[in-house]
Amino acid sequence: MTDTSPATISSAEAIRRAYRAGIALPAFNTPYLPMIEPVAKAIIDQDAFALIAVARLEFVKFEARSQAAIKAEFDKWQDPGHMRLHQDHIPVIDEDGLRIDFLTELQIATDLGYGSVMVDGSRLPLDENIMATQKSVALAHRGGVPCEAELGAVMGHEAGPMPPYEELFASGKGFTDIAEAARFVKETGCDWLSVAVGNVHGAVAQGLKDQPKPKARLALDHIQSLAEATGIPLVLHGGSGIQQEYVLGAVKRGVAKINVATEIRQPYEQTMKATGSIAAAQEAVYERTTTLIRDFFGWSGDAKVFA
């Protein structure tokens, strides 16, 4: 018999259970190492189940330091019944237009014991994205972990101001194409697909990262069509700032993982700037993470789904 106790359930199985139960796992991005402790404590105190995630840009442009440092900090505070560690966004081409040795960085994550990984080839033409994702999926599966991929243009990480949000939404610019998504999933074998459906990343460029995000909406019918075309759990990046009715509607239509970064990063940065106290900044992160789990997502107590 397969042991599926909370201590051993895989990230792949956790997402499958969320998908079947009509809920989603929040993936909390922690670009500063001291954020991991309060995020983990909030997840445990709310008896929730979530991913703690770090993207490549967060150990290049912020202070998460390295994949090994992140894993070591995670191991100090983790509770296997409540969380897993996710390697978010390893890009093929990064936000500055540079080619990245993405397979090496994915291999490091799997070797360190991350529970899941993500390759982001969304800045590539479709055929190149498929090829890069195929290689990444093969690497991840050899390491026994699921691989997330991205198709479509989830904007926000690039330098410079974005076009007006309502203009972007009305045009559907960058939205994940339904036919392309069906082909992409079939040919790559990716486990989860990050889609562009009106969501935007929080800005990370200097001079922009402190600004509030637009109050984003989601094309809910488009999400349902993508879920039907692909048959796999969908992922929503840029979860901060999306209106609650759209987030909950997306979950009902096939989104099983929602990334949250700006909502907990900005309280940390703002409190550090105001007080210079890591402890105070950690408390701000704990309070905001608790509020999100309990009041915004309404997922307190959901750890039982994964027991």
Residue 117 Cα distances to 18, 103, 139, 179, angstroms:
18, 11, 10, 25
| Span 18-34, average pLDDT | 94
pLDDT recorded at residue 207: 42
Q: Which of 102-106, 245-249, 266-270, 273-277 has the lowest mean pLDDT?
A: 245-249
Return the structure tokens found at 282: 């950690």
Contact 154, 199 (CB under 8 A): yes
Which stretch of 127-136, 155-164, 254-263 has the lowest confidence by average pLDDT? 155-164
- Residues 299 and 301: their CA atoms lie apart, in Å, by 6
| Predicted local confidence at residue 34, as pLDDT | 97
88 labelled catalytic: yes
Give me the amino acid identity at 194. S
> Among 30, 44, 36, which Cα is nearest to 290's?
44
Residue-wise pLDDT for 184-221, tens only, equals 999 999 999 999 998 776 554 444 455 555 667 799 99
Q: What is the CATH number of domain 11-298?
A: 3.20.20.70
Over residues 122-137, the mean pLDDT reads 97
Structure confidence by residue, pLDDT tens digits, 251-303: 999 999 999 999 999 999 999 999 999 999 999 999 999 999 999 999 999 99
Two tokens at 49?
């189940």
Domain segments of the chain as ranges? 11-298
Q: What percent of the chain has pLDDT over 70?
A: 86
* DSSP H or E run through 29: strand 25-29
- For residue 156, pLDDT beyond 70: no
- For the CA atoms of 157, 220, 12, 5, what is the dihedral angle to 10 degrees? 120
Which residue among the candidates 3, 75, 79, 88 is catalytic per the annotation?
Answer: 88
In the predicted model, is pLDDT for residue 170 greater than 70? no
Which pLDDT value is given to residue 2?
A: 40
Give the model's pLDDT for residue 42: 98
Amino acid at 257: K
